[in-house]
Each structure stands twice: as C-alpha cells, then as structure tokens.
C-alpha cells in the first residue's frame, strides 16, 4: 500500500466550477498535511498546509482534514484555466520530518 | 518568505561523467534538506535527507555511492551524481526545512540529461 494515494486524473471541470481533489494516507500518526501545485517542468509550489481536523480556507482554496478517516482534500472554488496543473498531496512523517508525496492529480479547467 | 536557490537549472552531460547540483537557502538556516527525483509524469520520490554536519540518510533503493550528498553548512547542500548514465536523466529538486517551522521550501529544480 502506498503511503499517500491520489487519483491521477485528469479531473476536468469547466471554468467557474468547484474542483475537488482527494488524498488518503496510511500513517495514522501523521500530523502535517500539505497541498502543492506543480506546473509542467516546474518545481512544486505550496498552496496550503493543514494540521487540525476540519476546514481551512485561504482565498479560493479550502483544505479539509479528517484524521479518523485518514483523508485530506482540497477544494478550488471558481476554478480558472490558470489552475490547470498537477496537484500534489504531501504528508509529513513526523518521526523523521520526511515529506512524502502522492502521485498527484492532474486538473484541467476548461474555458 | 523563505527562498531556496538551486542550480544549475538544467545540465547536459556525457555518460560516465559526474554532475554536481547545489541547493542554497538564501534567507534562513536550513536544519534539514531533502533531495527528490521526479521522472516524467511521476511524482516526487524522496532520495535522501541531509542534516548539516552529518551523513545523509538515503531512502531504500537509492545508491549512496552514486548520489553523493554533502550538507557542509546550514545554508548549502550539494548532490553529486557520479558516473551518470542515461537512466539517471531526471528532474532533481531540493527542499529545505527551517528548524521548528513546519514549512518546506523547494528549489526550482535541475533538469539533468545524460547523453
């Protein structure tokens, strides 16, 4: 079983819609979770981090964490074509501070 | 915010030669630096973790004698790909963590092509 799992997609949504990206993780003791966006050929850039159960909102982005279900998600409201990218879920393995990435979900926002 | 400078951004080398990639934290002291490798259409795979002044910890399956990591100061870590072969062609990305800060800052990556 992979430590961090994501649906590879592509997830295709029309411009203005809500895009929902999901991620599950296997290590129950993980406490820190991150969403990164990566454009083709570029390095990942941090969108949001979340550490507590519940929702965390930042502009058009909302991260949701459910530790009991070992599930973290990212919602993108009012999706724009410029949001088209691969979204990587990352989990910090607290015993070593290693950041482990999922395989990423490719998002396509259609104009 | 925290900035990590990585260079070169791209390099082409001949098979059998060695290539050094540098990763510098510009405005903070990086307690720990991480090196990742990313093949096309795949995710980032952690290669090793390096702490300043100590030996790097390599992930299972990563050859430590081939991928030499040096973290001589709190602001600089280097990855040397020794005796590079075409299968080592990949996108190498470093990341730095500052002390108790939960955040990780990534370098811009190095595209290595071995011909």
pLDDT digits (tens, 9 = 90+) for B35-65: 999 998 888 999 999 988 888 999 999 999 9
pLDDT above 80 for A1? no
Lowest mean pLDDT among A74-78, A88-92, A105-109, B96-100: B96-100
The residues near A66 (Cβ < 8 Å, ≥ 6 apart) are A53, A72
Q: b/e map of B34-50 (b: 16 or more CB within 10 Å)?
A: bbbbbeeeebbbbbbbb
**Model pLDDT, residue A94:** 67
Q: Is B52 on the interface with A (CB under 8 A)?
A: no
**Model pLDDT, residue B28:** 86
**Model pLDDT, residue B100:** 60
B43 contacts A88? CB cut-off 8 A: yes
**Model pLDDT, residue B98:** 75
DSSP letters, B36-90, are: EEE-TTS--EEEEEEETTS--EEPTT--TTTEEEEEEETTEEEEEE-S--GGG-E
**Model pLDDT, residue B38:** 95
**Alpha-carbon gap: A100 to the closest alpha carbon of chain B (Å):** 7
**Alpha-carbon gap: B94 to the closest alpha carbon of chain A (Å):** 9
pLDDT above 70 for A90? yes
**Alpha-carbon gap: B40 to the closest alpha carbon of chain A (Å):** 9
pLDDT above 80 for A79? yes
**Model pLDDT, residue B58:** 95
Of the partner residues B43, B104, B109, the one whose CB lies closest to the CB of residue A104: B43
Question: Which residues of chain B are within 8 Å of residue A34 when distances are taken between CB atoms?
Answer: 104
pLDDT digits (tens, 9 = 90+) for B62-114: 999 999 999 888 899 999 999 999 999 999 999 998 766 567 889 999 999 99
């Amino acid at each position: 079983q992979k430590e961090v799992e994501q649906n590879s997609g592509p997830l295709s949504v029309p411009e203005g819609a809500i895009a929902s990206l999901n991620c599950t993780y296997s290590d129950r003791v993980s406490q820190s979770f991150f969403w990164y966006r990566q454009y083709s050929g570029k390095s990942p850039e941090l969108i949001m981090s979340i550490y507590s159960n519940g929702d965390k909102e930042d502009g058009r982005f909302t991260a949701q964490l459910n530790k009991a279900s070992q599930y973290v998600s990212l919602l993108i409201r009012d999706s724009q074509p410029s949001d088209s990218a691969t979204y990587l879920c990352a989990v910090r393995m607290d015993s070593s501070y290693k950041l482990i990435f999922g395989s990423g979900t490719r998002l396509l926002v259609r104009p | 915010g925290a900035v990590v400078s990585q260079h070169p951004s791209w390099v082409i080398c001949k098979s059998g030669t060695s290539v050094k990639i540098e990763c510098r934290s510009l405005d903070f002291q990086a307690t720990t630096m991480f090196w990742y490798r990313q093949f096309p259409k795949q995710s980032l795979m952690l290669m090793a973790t390096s702490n300043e002044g100590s030996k790097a910890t390599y992930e299972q399956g990563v050859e430590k004698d081939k991928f030499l990591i040096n973290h001589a100061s709190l602001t600089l870590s280097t990855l040397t790909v020794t005796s590079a072969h075409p299968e080592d062609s990949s996108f190498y990305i470093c990341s730095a963590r500052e002390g108790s800060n939960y955040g990780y800052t990534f370098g811009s990556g190095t595209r290595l092509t071995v011909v």
